[in-house]
A and B are shown apart, each in its own frame.
Chain A
Amino acid sequence: MSPRNQQKPTTKSSAVPTAALRPKRQLHQIAANVLRLAKDRGIQETEVHIEESIEALTRFANNTIHQHVAEQGLVVSLRTSVDGRTARVTTNRIEEDALRAALEDSLSLASHQPKDPQLLPMPGKQKYRAVRRFHVATAALTAEERARAVKNACQLAERRGQVAAGIFSSGQGQSVLVNSRGLATAYRQTHSAFSVTMQQDSATSWAKASAADVRRFDPLRLAKIASEKAARARNPVELAPGKFTVILEPAAVLDLVGLLFYDFAATAVADKRSCLSGRIGKPVFGENVTISDDVYHPEQLGAPFDGEGIPRQRVVLVDRGVVKSLVYSRRSAKQVGIKPTGHGFALPNEYGEAPLNLVVAGGNTSLEEMVASTDRGLLVTRLWYIREVDPYEKIMTGMTRDGLFLVEKGKIAHAVRNFRFNQSVLEMLRNVQCLGPAGHAAGEEASEMVAPPMKICNFNFSEVTKF
């Protein structure tokens, strides 16, 4: 491969225009090219999924920007299906020769496998409910604007004798999904996030927000929250591990409850690897716990269709503690004779489906009220390195991080050294005493979701660390 022409490099203006997504028609044109090539080749069924993204991230630590990146890319992922055999090939080369080669590779992969009698024909045309998640203000955000916001956070830290670290990211993306049976859909969104850790002496705290519209959060306000909590987090006292009443901020709830998501997949239940195997229809959680999957919720992000282009449905997974429903791909739905819920992964795959837009219903107890009503407990800012210890009891282990505080007699008393927990999420959600208002929660472990703060009794901390 060699450059297409031999122009001399330009030395003109240093201004770089903000990157922009291609017009949607260009993506449709690429998809149409693939379908045409596939038809010419006599391929029975073809699916084309094109994704384009523009991402940028400003990263800071020690009160300075140390990494600052931007990327732009387009990926064509195509699937052919012939005589009950299917395979996927993905490329970021869009020249006709490359697309033709990808089709041939897909055919070759598909033809060298046993026939799958349960493989369904590709779906036809669908009806979609529109969502609007593209905000020009986010798409137009420049490196310099992110750098200035970061500078403000770093200056705040310096004024307070603290050290700031974090990220300010923004991006935009679009996708087009079509198949040879007439299905066609498209989606685009923007996203942005500001995450900040403030350190004072050896104490740290953290705050994060994310949204499709960058104007929904104020980076400096988040920096102030983290800064004030870091100041309070100094001189932590070591407590003996044991069972505590905990007040989990939304990020901590997200990181625990969010890791339940695959358990709600019909395929996981059929494979007997879900903690809900044998528990459907039963009161697994407390009566104050209701969980749904709802891509249309105004606080959610994500496309309103699944990996095969089936429209996503709102599904009530847990209703007042009782496991009511699972999510289904076309394949898993057919196996039990119901309609798919629009949660399937792109085919072929072994995992089936999953809810990716969890919404945990909130209550009306504010975080402050939770603290005020607690005689002795722990306020948890954030959790870290959460892993599954036991898949059926859903015991998760992990650490508290960036601000753990003892609450005594309705007030925050002092900081506490971080604990390790080993806690069943099922049991935890039976021990919820009260919930706060639900909102878009951003953590670092599980996917973003809508979650409230929670006050929970008998949360099991097994060991303590050195800070």
Chain B
Amino acid sequence: MKYLYLLWSNLRRKKMRSVLTVLSILVAFMLFAYLGAIRQGFSQGIDVAGLDRLIVRHKVSLIQPLPVAYESRIEQVEGVVDAIHQSWFGGVYQKPTNFFPQMPVEPEEYLAMYPEILLSDDERKAWLATRSGAIAGRGIADRFGWKVGDRIPINATIWTRKGGEQTWEFDLVGIYEGAEQSTDTTLFLFRYDFFDESRQFGQGQVGWYTVRIADPARSAEIAAAVDEVFANSQYETKTEAEGAFVQGFADQIGDVSTIIMAIVAAVFFTILLVAGNTMAYAVRERTNELAVLKALGFTDRGVLGLVLGECALLTAIGGGLGLLFGWLLVGMGDPTNGSLPVFFVPNRVLTAGIALIAVMAFLAGILPALQAQRLQIADALRR
């Protein structure tokens, strides 16, 4: 404890320099937390994909529809517990840049398939009772200021209504919450029966199926069995685990993870050298004082610890504040204005950040600390 005061006095010796060093470390860790959140946003879904869920889509591409009648045939495959269908509506709310997913589904089956979507009993009942009813995630509802009871007009880009009308009006009967922080709360879900009877064309066709299986260990085998059922039919399918499907989608965007990791590495490499050099300079400047300390009876290891401790203190203050500020900045909102389905700093990023603080403190401090340890009193005092 008594050394802490000594460390603190050393840092206060050149206040400006200490503050600037802390600030540059702070910036590095702030970026670390922020980019961690962006990375999470892009790879959303991979972590939360159910191990016991498969996705069935048209073999050639996702944009080609499958018949709604496939549902019961998929459910007959051995090992399948339940199958539901979803479709891509692709509408626009107010203006084209307001992007969020809208999907016609069968309410009860959908909610059973996705237990992470939390809807109150009253809202569930209201949805079942209202043909034009829709539910929205908390994230998207907050973004547009929607409340239960609002009438939401969505302009169709693909699915015009019978008679050529392009605007679909939905009654918002519920707002769902996510069971986890990583649950996507930007979805807008409405009823398939209402959709199917109102659309101008494409009756009886759906986008893709989500399938729940009894035993995740058998997913590859069951996926093959599903594809086998529809082989050589007019609509051949490709079935894969939900995780693989989502991963594939993220890969389509490109290797965002690699790009972000490269930026983080560049930032750290740069800042580590800048901050490390400053700390080394601060120690060199005090060669005399360190020699005095040694003359007073501080051991070599004691001086080593002192210098290392000083670097560690600087890094810990800067890094800790940086992670905190990064976390606060992320809390202020998504820079893409809603293009990312989730935007938060995952705990593992914070943990990794704390580990990085320790590593950085050691790397930045070890050279000047060793120098201080090796210092010969007589030489140093004469300088």
Asked whether A and B interact, the reply is: no
Chain B residues proximal to chain A, CB less than 8 Å: none
Residues of A with Cβ closer than 8 Å to B? none
